[in-house]
Structure 1
Amino acid sequence: MGARVSRVFRNFNLESRVHRELSKEKPSPAPRHPARELPAADVPPSVTEKNEPLLEHLRSVFVESTEPPAAAQEQKPAALKEAGRRPLKYHFPGGVSGSVELTDVPRGKLTIVEALKALGSHQHRPQTWTPEKVAQEFCLDPNDTKALLEFFVPFKVEIIPPKTAAAKQLKAS
């Protein structure tokens, strides 16, 4: 009921109010600052005139582009080693949540997929996947790899008991 009443007052004499607003004189814009105006008399004539020697030099320039030879494309992993990058070892098919598919990563870095693969492999077979082998496989610092494998444990859930006995406890199964 209140919406109907407010709509009546809101739309009352709407057309005449619109015509009144439109018929008002529009405010004039503020004058521009004199520094913003570019006087035509201050432009030096050398800017507006054609320079024939420069135009001739420009006409004589010819750029030709060719495909790189196939041997240069095959040497991409060597170029990656020089640039401090390594090719990607593991990836999810179809990309991770629609992200751009990576082809290489910097040395000393891991993608999420590679980190999960390394941590999972070490957790399932610690004798085979030693910290030294993981560091060598993914071009990582051995000290950082040891710390990562020791302190970051994925897929392990620990239930912390509550401080009070009256609180509800989860039962470990």
Structure 2
Amino acid sequence: MSNMGARVARMFRNFNLENRVHREISKEKPRVAPRHGTSLPLMPRPRGDSGDRDRRNERLLTLLRAVYVESTDPAAAPKEVAAEKAAERRPLRFSLPGDVYGLVELPDVPKGKLTIAEALKALSSHHRQPQTWTPGKIAQEYSLDLKDTKALLEFFIPFQVQIIPPKSENAKQIKAS
């Protein structure tokens, strides 16, 4: 069966093949682009004495030897300051039991930083008791900047659940309790 399909395909492929070949051969050929003349020299010779560029210029060499460059690394000072800041660490306030999400729990954290467990604990404390856990108290408790703490409490909202009402009346809906 497949042999018959190949025969039909070959028949269409070879249909009028000889006439098509003659037509292509009889077409006028495109002209070839002219070749670049090779009789010209590759680069013109400089005027004057060509030995000037090969000779040493003693005056320029003495000036070059007189140049002395002294370099200092400006990035060395900020690294020391960053190393001192990194040395300021605070003990961990709150951690979850066991390997949380497969990560190893740290014993201490740099000042101005929070772990995920501490951030969730601070947010839940503020959410439950906003009068007690004010942004100032959270910043003092976790050694944070007050501006960063206010931004954390305003923009990091992991507990907010929004229920979108259905478009039709007969659709099932979760009851808010």
**Class of the TM-score when normalised by the shorter of the 2 chains:** 0.3 to 0.5
Greater fraction helix: 1
Q: TM-score, normalised by structure 2?
A: 0.45
Task: Give 1 or 2 for the bigger CA radius of gyration.
Answer: 2
